[in-house]
Structure 1
Amino acid sequence: MTTLRKPPVRSHRTPAPKMNLADIVETLADGRVPVRFTAYDGSATGPENAEIGLHLTAPRGTTYLATAPGDLGMVRAYIAGDLQISGVHPGDPYPVLRTMMDDVKLQRPSPAVLAQITRSLGWELLKPVAPPPQETLPRWRRIANGLRHSRTRDAEAIRKHYDVSNAFYEHVLGPSMTYTCATYATPQTSLEDAQEAKYQLVFDKLGLQPGMRLLDIGCGWGGMVRFAARRGVHAIGATLSAQQAQWAREAIAAEGLTELAEVRFMDYRDVPETGFDAISSIGLTEHIGIDQYPAYFATLRDTLRPGGRLLNHCITRPHNDRRVKTGQFIDRYVFPDGELIGSGTIISEIQDVGLEVRHEENLREHYGLTLRDWNRNLVEHWDECVAEVGEGTAKLWGLYMAGSRLGFERNVVQLHQVLAVKVGEKGDAAVPLRPWWSG
C-alpha cells in the first residue's frame, strides 16, 4: 500500500524590507557612524552637526564600494568623484582618515544580512565597472611587462610613480625636490631645513670628505648628489626616471656643479665604476623586492672599496613576516610591485653578503612630519597641481600622503637607516670608536 506524503509546508514569512544606502552603512558600521553620510537616494545617517561629511553622489560609486570592499573600493569611488568629502581639503584628508580609523569598526554581515543588502542594491549595481584611469593592473596581470622585479617591470613601476610631472613634484616637495623622509629637530622645523638635515646626516654617517667618491642609487632629482658635490665630493646618481634625470642635470648645471656631480638615467646595476668610498640608497629598497635583496646588497658590496660605507634608508614594517602583502590601494595606485619588510630582515641580508652593520635607527616619526608638510604644500598649491595632473590624480596624492602619515604615526610602517661598512681583509672597518655624527 502506497502512503501519500503531504507536500512540505512552505514558509510565508515576509521578506526583510529593502535597505536604503544609509541603512546599509549603519548596518556595516554597527550603528557607529561618526561622520555625516548622505547619498543620492536621499538617505542619510550620522550626526547632523558632524564636522566631516561623506556624500555618495552616483550609483557607480555604490558599485565601486560593493564590488571591491575595503580601501580599494573607497579609493575608486573617491578618485572618480563619486564619493565626496566635506569639512576637509582634498589635498589633506588626514582628519577624515584618522576619524575613520579610530571610530569606525566595520562589521562582517551575517549571510542573512548580506542577502538582504544584495537584494536591496540589486544585481545591476553589483556588476563591476572600469576603475579610474589612475589605477594600474593587479599584480597577476602585469606579466606583459615582465616578471615581477625584472628590469623591464621595475622600470615601468618607477615610471608609473615618478614620471607624473616635475612641476607637480615641485609644488608638493618644495625647493629641495626631495621625496624621502626628512629629519626634524622639532615638529616646528621647516621642511627645507629638515631635508637639509637629512642630507647632512647621511653625509656625516658615510664619513664623506672632499675628494671622495659617492654613488647615490635611486637618486631621484639629485638632492643627495648635489649636496655632496657642494662639499667637494665627486658624486654619481642613478635613476630609472627620465624626468628625474633631466631635472637633476639642469639643477646641477644651474649650480655650477658639473665637474663634481652627474646624474644618469640608468639602472644602478649598470653603473660600470667600482671602488666607491660610499654608497647612499635613500628610498630605493622599497622597489627592489625582498627576494632580490641578496643580489642587491651583493652588488653594492662589490661596488664599494674596502673600508667603504653603505647607508641604506628605506620604509620598513614593524615586523619581519613575509606573508604580509602590500595593500591593494598602494599596489594599484601608488607603488606597483613595492614590497616592505622589517629592519631585521634588511640587517640580516646586509650581513649575509659580508658587510658589517655598524648602526641603525628608526625615523618613523620624522616621516609622519615630512608627509604632514607635503600635504600642506599640496593644499597651498592645489589649483596649480590640479591644472598640472588633473583633479583625480591630485586627490589620489592627497589621500596617499595623508594615509601614509597616519601609518607612520600608528606604527603600521617605519623608516630605518642602516649603516654598514665593507671591512678590509684583516677586519679593519676604518670607523671611529664611537658615533661621529649628530642628529
Structure 2
Amino acid sequence: MTVLKQTHQHSHQRPHDRGPTGHALPPMTVAEAFEAVVDGPLPLRFTAYDGSTAGPADAAVSLHLRTPRGAAYIATAPGDLGLARAYVSGDLDIEGAHPGDPYPVLAAMGSIRFQVPGPRTLAAIARTLGSGVLHPPPPPPQEALPRWRRVAEGLRHSKTRDAEAIHHHYDVSNAFYEKVLGPSMTYTCACYPHEAATLEEAQENKYRLVFDKLRLKEGDRLLDIGCGWGGMVRYAARRGVRAIGATLSREQAAWAQRAIEEEGLADLAEVRFSDYRDVPETGFDAVSSIGLTEHIGVKQYPSYFRSIKEKLRDGGLLLNHCITRPDNRRTSTGAFIDRYVFPDGELTGSGTIIAAVQDVGLEVRHEENLREHYALTLASWCRNLVDSWDQCVEEVGEATARVWGLYMAGSRYGFETNVVQLHQVLAVKLDGRGDAHLPLRPWWDA
C-alpha cells in the first residue's frame, strides 16, 4: 500500500494583487485562475471548459478541466483530494497518459507548488468561477466518509471498523484484482532479483525471501496475518509447512480457500475469514505479517506485536513487511488515500516499528528497505491495468478504475522520490535464557 505525493501550499501575493485599495481586478479566464494558484511556471499544459489555456503548448502531458463542477471540487478541497475528486468523477481529464497509468502526468505535477493568492486575486477567481464554486459538490460515490464521521463503524481500529476499512479496499472485485495483480494474486511489494524480472518472478522471489528469512522447513507451523489471497500460505504449504492465514476480507478468504483446494493443499493450508485477534492457536514456528501493519494503527502496535509474541514458540521468528515513511514524525496518509484507498490507514517510519517490536520483548535481527522494488511492482500493476482497461472498467466502472490508476501511479512516484518506503523487519522470540538459537550471520540469499 502507499500514498500520492502531496501538493505543497504556501501563502503568497502576486504583484498585481497589491494594487490601489478599492480597485477590483477584472474576472479571469479559468486558465488564468489556475495559474494564479501555482507558484512558478507550469510544467504541463492546462486547458479549460471556457476555451482558455495555460502552460507550454508543446508539453508532453496536459490537464483538461471539463466542467464548472470540476473547478468547484478543486477550489473547495485544494490539493490532492480536490484534484482526485475532479479526476475520478470525469470532470478532469489527462492527455499524454492512459487513465490506467497517469504516471507521466503525476511526475510532471510533482514540481508544482500551489499557493494561496492575495484577497483581490481570490475575489477575481470567485467572479470567474461563479458563486457555486464556493459550495462543495457531493463527492464521487467511491469516496469514504472522513475519519471524524466514521463513528457508525465504531472506534478507530475496533474489530468492526477495521473490518469495514478492509472491505472498502479489498472487496472491490476478485476478477478486477486478477487482471491488475496477475496470476500470483499478490497485492504487496515484490522483490526483484534484477530489474528485467517479470512481476511473477519477483513475487515468487518475495515469498522465497520471506520463507528463507523465517527459516521455515517441512513440518513447521506458520501463521500469516493479513494473508490476502493466500499467496504466502500456499507457497509455504507447497514446501510442507502447515500454514494458517487470516484476513478480514470475505472475498479474499473465499478465493484463497478455493485456490488451496484446487492445488491439493487442504491438508496443510487454511485461510480464515477472521481478525488476527481471534486466531486461538499458539506455538507457531514463524509469523509473517505482509502488508498489514499499515492497517493496524500506530497506537495499536504494542498490542499487535505482543499478540504475535504470544503466538510464537521460543526461538520463533517474525517477519514484518510494510510500507513506511522516511521519518518517524507523521502517521497521516493524506486525504485522497484515506477517503479513496485505505480508510483509517497509518504510516510511520521503520524506527517506530522496530521500537514497538523491541518494547514487547522481541529481538530485532535484521531490517532492510525495498522501496525501489515497490516502484517496480506498481509500474507492473499499472501496465496490467492499462492492458486490461476495458475489462476492468466493465467489472468495476470507470470511476473506480480511475481511482486505482491514480493511486498506483501516484504511489510509484512516491516510492521513487522517497516519500514512502517499504521495510522488512525480522525479529525472534528469545528463550528463557535469552538465547535466539540462530546462526551468527544471515542465512538467506538476498
Scaled by the length of structure 2, what TM-score is found?
0.94
Q: Which residue of 1 aligns with 2:317?
A: 309
Deviations 1:149-169 (A, max 9, x none): 011000000000000000000
- Contact 2:219 2:240 survives alignment (8 Å): yes
Q: Which is greater in Rg? A: 1
Cα offset for 1:14?
4.4
Q: Which residue of 1 aligns with 2:355?
A: 348
Q: Which residue of 2 aligns with 1:365?
A: 372
**Residue identity matched to 1:299:** S
Find 1:321's aligned residue among 325, 329, 334. Answer: 329
Please give the secondary structure, in 2, of the residue aligned with 1:106: strand
Matched, 1:227 2:231: no
- Distance in structure 2 (CA, Å) of the matches to 1:73 and 1:349: 35
- Contact 2:24 2:120 survives alignment (8 Å): no
Q: Which residue of 1 aligns with 2:90?
A: 81
Give the 5 Å matches for 1:164-183. Answer: 164-183=172-191
Q: Which residue of 2 aligns with 1:99?
A: 108
Q: Which residue of 1 aligns with 2:34?
A: 25
Give the 5 Å matches for 1:152-231. Answer: 152-231=160-239
- Contact 2:100 2:405 survives alignment (8 Å): yes
Please give the secondary structure, in 2, of the residue aligned with 1:406: helix
- Distance in structure 1 (CA, Å) of the matches to 2:333 and 2:101: 22
**Residue identity matched to 1:396:** V
- Distance in structure 2 (CA, Å) of the matches to 1:229 and 1:112: 67
Matched, 1:128 2:133: no
Please give the secondary structure, in 1, of the residue aligned with 2:152: helix
- Distance in structure 2 (CA, Å) of the matches to 1:399 and 1:13: 43
Cα offset for 1:77?
0.3
- Distance in structure 2 (CA, Å) of the matches to 1:135 and 1:371: 22
Q: Which residue of 2 aligns with 1:46?
A: 55
- Contact 2:328 2:351 survives alignment (8 Å): yes
Find 1:57's aligned residue among 63, 66, 73. Answer: 66
Find 1:113's aligned residue among 117, 121, 131. Answer: 121
- Distance in structure 2 (CA, Å) of the matches to 1:63 and 1:33: 21
* Segment drifting more, 120-129 vs 156-165: 120-129
- Distance in structure 2 (CA, Å) of the matches to 1:352 and 1:14: 63
* RMSD of equivalent CA atoms: 1.2
Deviations 1:350-396 (A, max 9, x none): 01101111111111110010001000100011111001000000011
**Residue identity matched to 2:341:** V
- Distance in structure 1 (CA, Å) of the matches to 2:327 and 2:34: 33
Q: Which residue of 2 aligns with 1:297?
A: 305
**Residue identity matched to 1:35:** L
Q: Which residue of 2 aligns with 1:37?
A: 46
- Distance in structure 2 (CA, Å) of the matches to 1:36 and 1:321: 36
Find 1:389's aligned residue among 390, 396, 406. Answer: 396
Cα offset for 1:279?
0.3
Overall identity of the aligned pairs, in %:
69
Find 1:266's aligned residue among 264, 274, 285. Answer: 274
Cα offset for 1:120?
2.5
> When the two structures are aligned, how many residues end up with a matched partner?
427
Please give the secondary structure, in 1, of the residue aligned with 2:280: coil
- Distance in structure 2 (CA, Å) of the matches to 1:351 and 1:34: 46
**Residue identity matched to 2:274:** M
Cα offset for 1:13?
5.2
- Distance in structure 1 (CA, Å) of the matches to 2:39 and 2:416: 27
Deviations 1:60-103 (A, max 9, x none): 1011011111110000000000001111000000000000103x
- Contact 2:65 2:93 survives alignment (8 Å): yes
Please give the secondary structure, in 1, of the residue aligned with 2:114: coil
**Residue identity matched to 1:95:** P
- Contact 2:190 2:206 survives alignment (8 Å): yes
* Segment drifting more, 18-27 vs 41-50: 41-50
- Distance in structure 2 (CA, Å) of the matches to 1:178 and 1:107: 40
- Distance in structure 2 (CA, Å) of the matches to 1:42 and 1:311: 55
**Residue identity matched to 2:384:** N
Q: Which residue of 2 aligns with 1:6?
A: none
- Distance in structure 2 (CA, Å) of the matches to 1:146 and 1:116: 44
Cα offset for 1:31?
5.2
Q: Which residue of 2 aligns with 1:5?
A: none
- Distance in structure 1 (CA, Å) of the matches to 2:74 and 2:338: 18
Find 2:145's aligned residue among 112, 137, 151. Answer: 137
Please give the secondary structure, in 2, of the residue aligned with 1:175: coil
Q: Which residue of 2 aligns with 1:408?
A: 415
**Residue identity matched to 1:377:** N
- Distance in structure 1 (CA, Å) of the matches to 2:214 and 2:34: 53
- Distance in structure 2 (CA, Å) of the matches to 1:195 and 1:268: 24
Structure 2, gaps ≥5 residues long: 1-19
- Contact 2:100 2:402 survives alignment (8 Å): yes
Deviations 1:241-261 (A, max 9, x none): 000000001100110000100
Runs of 4 or more off by more than 3 Å in structure 1? 11-14
- Distance in structure 2 (CA, Å) of the matches to 1:30 and 1:21: 16
Q: Which residue of 1 aligns with 2:11?
A: none
Residues 246 and 17 of structure 1, relative CA distance in 2, 3 Å threshold: same
Structure 1, gaps ≥5 residues long: 1-10
Find 1:380's aligned residue among 346, 369, 387. Answer: 387
**Residue identity matched to 2:445:** S
Q: Which residue of 1 aligns with 2:99?
A: 90
Residues 229 and 20 of structure 1, relative CA distance in 2, 3 Å threshold: same
Deviations 1:219-251 (A, max 9, x none): 000000000000000000000000000000110
Cα offset for 1:12?
9.1
Query: Which has the bigger relative contact order, CA under 8 A and spacing at least 6?
Result: 2
